[in-house]
Structure formats: C-alpha cells, structure tokens
Chain A
Amino acid sequence: MRILLIGFGNVGRAFLQLLEEERRRFRKIGVDPKVVGVVDRGGAAIFKEGVKTSRILEVKAEKGSVAYSEEGGFPQMDALEAISIVQPDLTIEATSTSRGGSGPALKHIVKALENGSHVVSANKAPFAYDYDTVMRVALSRGRLVKYSATVGGGLPVLKTLRTLTIGDVVESCRGVLNATSNYILTLMEEGRSYSEALKLAQEIGIAETDPTMDVSGMDTAYKITIIANTIEGGHSVNEVEITGIENIRFEDLREAASSGYSIRLLGEFTEEGKLRVGPSKLKRGSTLDVSGTLNAVEFKMRRAGPVCLTGKGAGPFETAAAIIRDIFEIVEEAMR
C-alpha cells in the first residue's frame, strides 16, 4: 500500500513513528504500508521504495522541511502535484486545521479521491465546512474517507457513534470536546485568573502558543459539527452559535462551585438539530463534569438512553493512533 502523507507537523511525525511500530500488525493481514511521499510547507519528498523514518525526521528537524532531503526532495512542490506524481493508494491529510473555511485541505482530499486514493484525515476543517462535498466525491469515486482523528483523538467517539446508529437513533449529543480549555477551567477553579491559567498551561505544553482555536470554542465547534455530520450530514460550522471561555472570571467558577456546580465548555447538538458551543453549568459529579485534560461525550439514544464516553483528550500520538486505526478499517473494508 503506497501512502502519501500531507502535513508533517507533530501529528505527521508521530504517525510515521507509530507506523514503524505497527508495521508487523499490518504484515499479519498481508499489507505492507509504504510511505512513498511526504509533503510539508516547504515542498515534498518522494521515495519510490518508501521513506526511511529516522532519516526524514532528521532532515525535518535540521533543515525545517522535507523538501531539503538530498534524496527525493522537491522544494516548492505542493500537495496537489505530489498526488498526481505519486498516485497513492491512500492519502493522509494531516495539515493543521484552517479557520474560516476548509482551506487547501479540501482540495487535497478531493484531488486524492479523484485520483483513486482512499483518504484518512486528521484535519477537521473539510468535515466541518464541506462534509457533504467530501462524501459526494468519495461516493462517486468509490473510495473511502475516514476521519476518526478529528474528534476525541484517542477516544473512539466517531467509531462508537457509527456503531450506535445501527438499529438505534441518536437524538442529541453533548460533550466536553476540547482538552485545553477544560484544563484551563480546571486550573482557574483553584483561584487563578484566566490569563494566569493560560500561561501555566502554555508553559507545561498543554496549550499552544496561539491558543485561539481552543479557548474561543472554535475547535469544539468543529468537533460537534463533525459529530452532527456523522449522524445526519448537512451541517456546517457556520451555523454554530459559539461562545469561548476567554471572558470567564474565576469568581464565576467560585460562585458556581458554592451552589454545587462547575463550569465546562460544552459542544451541543440538540434534538431540534441546533448546534451550540459555550460555557455551561454542570452539576458537580455529573457524567460530563470531567476535569483536567479529560474529554467526555454523551449521546442520547432513542432506545438505549444515554451513552457516555470519557477519556483523555488527544495528543500527537493519540491522534496518530486514530489514523492507524482508520487505515486498518480501510484495509478491512476494501478487502471485503
């Protein structure tokens, strides 16, 4: 199986390392996954016989882009060109999620599908803005698109959702879907201001240097939209009513705590089909009242009632593991 990896940040790098470790598992089902191309902002690197993981990681660390690889490096080559040249069996879209629209990721995914490649994406934007387009192209080309890594990372939210919808109906869904903002709120509960908590979270590597996506509620909005799209399609993140956590004061948390509540940033998909993201009061100890970097999602099923998933939110390796699981699913489905 010839794989093209688009995007070589933390997730892309973790994916290559994890793939090395999981190679034997693939061989057991008769598949030899070979990453024949890697694309980043500086260009592309193409290897007929498959990339040597340690070498490409070194080039990236030392020179800043895979395009400067002595063998196979093509500065300026973009992802679309790489797809045409490599003609991969599977394309992994792992560029960073854009704001305001699907960005280049949608073009990458469509081009890959049109070239007969299956797609696994860790990029949320195309599934939050243009879900229907992506699925239509995939269907018309008879290719598979998987995107488990976009929600919950290590937590199998979308897979559970697909299982639940067989023989039952999801009526609504609520969840704490962003680890960074939940972590900041947890730190604030100890009496820190928002800016103090954010600074500490950045120092120990939980929050990114630019935390806007997380704290503004945008990341949660992307995820709840993707959940809604997986349930019924037809949604866009543009319809989500979003409030972030930037204006929460620790006095608000204290006040809530005194009456037995905590405040969490919730993403909601209501029974009426509405999408909403914002800080909500939750009864202390309730299923969604998770602290630290935990995520929690609750699906309300018509027959089975509430179903809840709780676990650690995503880091690069959890996300990479979700990509690997998606590849497995594609192999199994394509073999059927």
Chain B
Amino acid sequence: MKIVSLNLENTGLEIKDLCKKLVEEADEELILIVEPREDAVKILSDAALSRISEEEAIEKLAAELNNLSRGIAEENKRIVEAEIVESLNKISEYLRAEKKAGGATPKGISLMLNTLCNTITIIVSNHFKSLGKDAKWLTAGQAGFTLIEDYELPWSHYVSLSKPEELRKALTGILVLSGRVCFDKQGNETNLRKGMGSVIAILVANEIGVKEVYVPKANGGVYTADPNIVENARVIPSLSYAEALELSRLGEWFVSPQAVELAEELGVRILVTNIKSPFKESTIIGFEKAVEKQIVKAVAMIPDMSILTVEGAAMAGTPGVASAILGEVAKRGVSICMISQDASEVGITLVVRDADLERALKGLREGFSRERIVKRIRIQRNVAVISAVGEGMRGTRGVAARIFSAVAEAGVNVLAIAQGSSETSISFVVLMEDAKKAVKAVHDKVILGIQ
C-alpha cells in the first residue's frame, strides 16, 4: 500500500502524467489524499466577500477545473464535465444566496469549498479510471476523519481518525480522499484548513502500518532557497523533523507543520518526490537529527509583513504587560509571526502580516489603553522575515556572525532579530526591497560557502 499526499499547490494542474506514473510504479494499492490549490480556494472567499464578481469567480474556477481534467479519456470525460457544470452551478447559486443574506455566512463558504474539493477529487479519480483502474472517492469525513477544535484557542484546528473502521472498509484498489472535507464532532459536514490533507495522509499511514508518505512536487523536492529567487538553489537530500518543521512554516509549501510534527510522533517518514518519478525520493524528512554536516540547510522568506513596536519606559519591570499586549492582538484573530523584546524591557517588537496590521493596531489601541505604561506604538510596513534553518546551528559558534556579515556585505540593513532557544533557526527582518538580496547573500555565502 502506498500513500500519496497530492496537494495541487505542489503539483500544479497538469496531473495526467503524474496519475499515469503513480499507476505504473505503484504496482500495489494506492491511497491519495487530494487538496486544491490555495489560489482556487481564494477565488471562493474573494467572491463570497464581493472582492470579485460572481461571473469572474465562476470563469476562473471553470478554467481551473477544466485544466485539471485535461487528458481524461472520452468516456469518463462526459461524467467529469457534467460534474463540473453541476458543481459550478451550485457554487454560483450559493454565491447569489450569500449576497442576498448580506454577506458571507460560514456555512455557505464551507459548502462552496467542499463542493470545489469534492469536484477536484472526482476529477482525480476519473484520471485513474481512464487508465482502466478501479478507483473510488470519498470525503475524508466518510473515511472516518473528524475535525477537532480546542475551545481554549478559538482559531485552533486539528483532525483525528475517529472511526478507523470506516477507513478500513474503504480500502480497495485506488482510494482517492477529498482531503479538506470532513465531519465535526456533531456529525455535520465541515471543511479543513490548508494542509490538513497532509496530516490525514500521516494518520492513514499510521493506521495501516505503512512507514512512508509520498509528497510529489512539480519542482522535485525541498530547496535550499526559493528557486524563483535564487537560481542556484539546490534540492536538500535530507531534513530532520525539526528542520522540516521550521521550513514547512517558513519556506515554499510542501506539507503542513502539523503533518511534520505528527510524522515525528508516529515515526512516519515524509518523502518529497518529483512528479516525474513520484516514488523516488529527492528529499527525505525523517531523521531524529541532522545527518549531514551542513550547518545551515535552507533560507526562507516570508514577504509582505509589518513590524509593530510597542514602547514605554514604564513597561520595564511591570509583569503582565507582554501578556496583555499579545492577548489584545490574539483577540483580533491575528497570528504573530515573530516577537522580539529588548532586555531593557522598554519595547516589544511584533511582526505580523501586512493584511493583519490594521486589526492588530485596533486591538492594541482599543483594548490596551493604559496610556501611562505604553507611550508609543510604531509601525513599519513592507518588510520581510528571513529565516535561516538548520539543526547544525545548535551549539555551533559563529553561525549568526556569518549570516549577519553576509547580509551586511550585501548592503542590507537588519531591522529586528529573533532566535528560538531550539537554535534550529534564526529569523531577521529586512525591508521588502532588500529581501531578495538578503536571501541570496545568506544562500550563497553561508549555505554554499561561496566567498
């Protein structure tokens, strides 16, 4: 049995040849967990929030689905085409109904996303059927998966295999799961966030006693830096779980951070492969610690961020100030990407997404009105967070010096720095206009060692 986490974010839309390769090379039963591209999901939310028109959304989704179904044999094509038309009709009806309701309803958005995910899954299963294979599709919910929410943290989100017997019942030939559609605890159909399909893949592997999950990727592996920014970026042959966890959060998409964490817990290896040979690993994730001598493995960049600095002399030695500040930001649903505080305690620097800045500020201004303690809130938009990742950094002297001298030599000013005590990564903030230069400098001078 082979398990494949098929995220279209990784593979792109041309999946006909990938499906063919999977069938040819698997020579046994297959389980695929399918997830749509985030761009396709965004079309739905944009339309629901009236950022784009309903017509534009349907046109874009039709293009996405038609591209995906390219290469399906004639007799299956008709079924797929009918399915696409039906699901687009449904989506457009929901969009119109939402508009009448005065805006997006959570249930409406969830329904549209589920319709889209299921249609994509049906297309993938029909690619296998056109190759003469016995393929069937189910939602992850029908295969026994349930959404788990932690009531302490309203935005938290996890999935568990609550009915393993349902999964076992479904195992025959090729099983294609709609990786973002499942049930909540009350048995209502709901949808999962991006990347939860990769968590499901790990849970499936664990349940049936398989120790590997394959993640096919169009560009063939996890890279030392984004190949679109650094042309001499290379595929990294091996990553420890800790390194992969950092990179999955910071770098180019491959699996979700929760999937890496769970894989470590359950002892499952994640094999990132090339779509041209989907079972031949290019990057192996699954080592207790780094197996190579390479100190810094990869450098990643998160663009479009903002710095928020909260200052006040009275903050020093006032316990609870940091917690109050973070609490106000969290209440607005803003996730903080990086935190840094001077040892003098007179200022706390938070890095948040540009898109979240206004909400974070609102939270601080309205909720945190202790004028005598907080004197100023400064903001700097258009910055990028750059992170150097590598477990070899732990306990190795002089790595930070090498990284920052490389950045300085490239003429880039560093605005803030943070390092976790795990020492698996160092993150720093630079202006957006300097970001690519900084990534390239760290990549070439620290990772490749070019002087």
Contact = CB atoms under 8 A, between A and B. Distances in A.
Interface of A: 17, 21, 24, 53-55, 57-58, 61-62, 183, 186-187, 190, 200-201, 203-206, 291-294, 312
Contacts of A21: 331
Contact of B107 (A53, A61, A205, A294): A205
Given A55-B151, A204-B108, A204-B111, A62 B102 contact: no
Given A21-B331, A204-B94, A205-B106, A58 B151 contact: yes
A313 to B, nearest CB: 9
A203 B111 contact: yes
Contact of A62 (B98, B105, B185, B331): B185
A244 to B, nearest CB: 20
B105 A205 contact: yes
A61 B101 contact: no
B265 interface: no
B107 A204 contact: yes
A292 B108 CA distance: 15
Nearest to A61: B185
A62 B185 CA distance: 7
Given A57-B151, A58-B151, A190 B96 contact: yes
Pairs A-B, 8 closest by C-beta atoms = A205-B107, A204-B108, A54-B151, A57-B151, A54-B152, A58-B151, A292-B100, A292-B102
Given A54-B150, A61-B151, A61-B185, 13 more contacts: A21-B331, A57-B151, A58-B151, A183-B101, A187-B97, A200-B93, A200-B97, A201-B97, A203-B111, A204-B97, A204-B111, A205-B105, A312-B102
Q: How large is the interface on B (under 10, 10 to 19, 20 to 34, 35 or more residues)?
A: 20 to 34
A310 to B, nearest CB: 12
Interface of B: 93-94, 96-98, 100-102, 105-108, 111, 149-152, 154, 185-186, 331, 367
A205 B108 contact: yes
Given A62-B185, A204-B108, A205-B108, A292 B101 contact: yes
A183 B108 contact: no
A293 B101 contact: yes
16 contacts: A24-B367, A54-B150, A54-B151, A55-B151, A61-B185, A183-B100, A187-B97, A190-B96, A200-B93, A200-B94, A200-B97, A204-B94, A204-B97, A204-B108, A206-B105, A293-B100
Nearest to A60: B151
B108 A61 contact: no
Contacts of A205: 105-108
Given A58-B151, A61-B186, A205-B107, A294 B100 contact: no
Contacts of A204: 94, 97-98, 101, 105, 107-108, 111
